[in-house]
Amino acid sequence: MEAYKKEFIEFMVDCQVLKFGDFVTKSGRKTPFFVNTGFYRTGTQLRKLGGYYAEAIEKKFGLDFDILFGPVYKGIPLSVAAAIAISEKYDKDIRYCSNRKEVKDHGDKGILLGSPIADGDRVVIIEDVTTAGTSIEETLPIIKAQGDVNPIGLVVSVDRMERGKGEKSALSEIEEKYGLKTTAIVTMAEVVEHLYNKEYKGKVIIDDKLKAAIDAYYEQYGVK
């Protein structure tokens, strides 16, 4: 596993973004782990987070695209942080864009904030985590309504590696249905590999009991 992936897993733990216990996802699934990017709350954290996203984006998509689109609300700081990191790490100026919940009819008008989207723009969508692919169904029509636009990919922080609406993973379903490439900074398999029965800061985060709960979750919701 690449060093930046290991660092990112520990970073999520330190920021309390990656938690283990009893949770319910947006899609209604009871899960023993939860990723909440709302717990990135400081400038230092966002700077680091943007760097991890930038590395994942460059490895999967390269930098030959125009706009990083972050869906409202959590995608807004993600798109800003990653665009800054791409500028700093790779000296590439990528525009950022997000949508509003309501269309604004004065000042900076319209459904978008940040950069406008124009014909021919190649767009990478940035999100926190995808469980069942419901968010992308809302996001893509907004992007495509802006003109002859080419959405080329989706990047998330963690691939939960579970079924979407059918038998395949949510990211695989998105790739097939929308023709988007997808990637994640890390997968849950990599998270478990790095934390299972290993001490981190004096504590074993994933012990045998938690590992059994994670395995049981994937028995029910994992890709067959």
Question: What residues act catalytically?
Answer: 104, 106
Is residue 35 a contact partner of residue 158, using CB atoms and an 8 Å limit?
yes
**What is the rounded CA–CA span in Å between residue 5 and residue 208?**
23
**Looking at residue 185, what DSSP letter applies?**
E
**What is the rounded CA–CA span in Å between residue 111 and residue 116?**
10
- Distance, first Cα to last Cα, the chain: 24
Strand pairing category for 122-126 and 67-70: parallel
Where are the alpha helices (H) located in 43-169, listed in sequence order? Answer: 43-61, 75-90, 134-144
| 3-state SS assignment for residue 180 | coil
Is residue 106 a contact partner of residue 115, using CB atoms and an 8 Å limit?
no
**What is the rounded CA–CA span in Å between residue 38 and residue 36?**
5
